[in-house]
Amino acid sequence: MGANNLNLLSPPEQFGIVGPGIYRSDMLQQPHFSYLKQFGFKTLVMLSPELPNRVTTNFIEEGDIKLVHVGMATWKPTQPTTWRPVSEELIKEGLELILDYRSYAGTKARYVNEQFIELFDLDLVTLPLHLPAWFIDQQRMLAEEEAEEASRLQ
């Protein structure tokens, strides 16, 4: 088999599993499309303010993938200009859609972004009516850990 016949699979940078059927990555590029096709994605959520390039747009359209571009509507400088790098609305929507910044940012993490996420007002987040199983499991484990800690301190 010649080198030209090899179909290389190249995942996007920062690609990882968030939960069953939920993945995240850095911006998509053409070399990633062969790899991504095997997942049969139905929805792509973009948090970036940039528009996808023409090649990526074609990939989305050809794959009949729904594009939810949260970044276009909510990624704007805060008014008046503050230390906040992004709007609270973007963080709120990102958290509602699933956000695990530090695990995937790695060496590209920005301290000011991490600080803003840590200080974000979680009361702004609205949980969906039907929570995913992984979220319910996580909440249960957290409650168990808190109960163990409380009983240990008594």
Contact 14, 25 (CB under 8 A): yes
pLDDT on residue 96: 62
Lowest-confidence region among 59-63, 88-92, 136-140 = 88-92
Single pTM value for the model: 0.49
* 99 vs 49 pLDDT, higher one: 49
Rounded CA gap, 10 and 136, in Å?
Answer: 33
pLDDT in tens, 28-43: 999 999 999 999 998 8
Q: What is the largest CA-CA distance in the chain?
A: 69
pLDDT above 80: residue 93? no
pLDDT, tens digit, for every residue of 112-146? 777 777 777 878 878 878 887 877 888 898 899 88
Phi-psi sector, 40: left (phi>0), alpha (psi -120 to 50), beta? left
Q: What domains can be seen in the chain, in order of their start residue?
A: 3-127 (3.90.190.10)
Q: What confidence score (pLDDT) does residue 56 get?
A: 93
